[in-house]
Amino acid sequence: NAGVTQTPKFQVLKTGQSMTLQCAQDMNHNSMYWYRQDPGMGLRLIYYSASEGTTDKGEVPNGYNVSRLNKREFSLRLESAAPSQTSVYFCASSEEWGVGTQYFGPGTRLLVL
């Protein structure tokens, strides 16, 4: 039981490049989330998927897109990376939407030059 897994662990991009962050969970959870963590700002919600087949914007969605590929997988795409997107990205899942107990992956550290 791996919980929530994320790939890659670390990535360096040049401004304007694109990339997709992958996330998978093996807990049969319905809801999944993408957060970014910046110093002094806690975690901010980028996008979420309350259930398979649905996605919605969170607090800071600009510059990102998501895909809920199936119940297990939820990917985050940066179409044209900007230095302001340098951050640590966390994927999380929960049994249902609106439940505060969320399970987090180990994170992806992204540096945009």
Q: Is 30 in the site for another protein (CB under 8 A)?
A: no
Minimum distance, C-beta of residue 14 to another protein, in the bound complex (Å) = 25
Q: Give the span between the Cα atoms of 1 and 16, in whole angstroms.
A: 37
Tokens of 95: 């049994």
Residues 21 and 109 sit within 8 Å (Cβ to Cβ): no
Hey, which residues between 38 and 97 contact another protein (CB under 8 A)?
A: 40-45, 48, 50, 58-59, 90, 92, 97
User: Is the CA virtual torsion 97, 43, 59, 49 positive or negative?
Assistant: negative
Distance set, CA 43 to CA 40, 46, 58, 69, 113 (Å) = 9, 9, 11, 24, 22
Minimum distance, C-beta of residue 94 to another protein, in the bound complex (Å) = 9
Q: Say how many residues touch another protein, by CB under 8 A.
A: 25
Q: Is 106 in the site for another protein (CB under 8 A)?
A: yes
Minimum distance, C-beta of residue 50 to another protein, in the bound complex (Å) = 8
Q: For binding to another protein (CB under 8 A), which residues are involved? A: 4, 33, 40-45, 48, 50, 58-59, 90, 92, 97-107
